[in-house]
């Protein structure tokens, strides 16, 4: 039981390049989330998917798109990377959405945009 996995672990992009961060969970959770974590800013929600087939914006969605590919997988895409998107990105999942249920985090992707 791997829990939440993320690929890649590290990535360096040039400004304007695109990439997709992959996330998968094997806990049969319904809800999945993408966060970014910056020094002094804490964890901020980018997008979430309450259930398969639905996605919603979080606090900082600009510059990102997501796809809930199936119940297990939730990807985050940067269409045209900017230096302001340099951050650590965490994927998380929970049995049910939003309140009440605990979220479990993946190991993170460290992204640098030059």
Per CB under 8 A, residues contacting other proteins are 33, 40-45, 48, 58, 90, 98-108
Of 13, 22, 108, the C-alpha closest to 69 is: 22
CB of 9: closest distance to other proteins in angstroms?
11
CB of 30: closest distance to other proteins in angstroms?
14
**CA–CA dist 76, 82 (Å, integer):** 15
CB of 77: closest distance to other proteins in angstroms?
20
Nearest to other proteins of 33, 74 (CB atom): 33
**CA–CA dist 102, 112 (Å, integer):** 29
Structure tokens at 79: 């269409």
């Amino acid at each position: 039981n791997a829990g939440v996995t993320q690929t890649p672990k590290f990535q360096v992009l040039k400004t304007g390049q695109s990439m997709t961060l992959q996330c998968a969970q094997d806990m049969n959770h319904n809800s999945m989330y993408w966060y970014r974590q910056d020094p002094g800013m804490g964890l901020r929600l980018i997008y979430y998917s309450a259930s398969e087939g639905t996605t919603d914006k979080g606090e900082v969605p600009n510059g990102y798109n997501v796809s809930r590919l199936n119940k297990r997988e939730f990807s985050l895409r940067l269409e045209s990377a900017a230096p302001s998107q340099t951050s650590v990105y965490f994927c998380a999942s929970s049995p049910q959405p939003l309140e009440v249920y605990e979220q479990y985090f993946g190991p993170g992707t460290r992204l640098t945009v030059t």
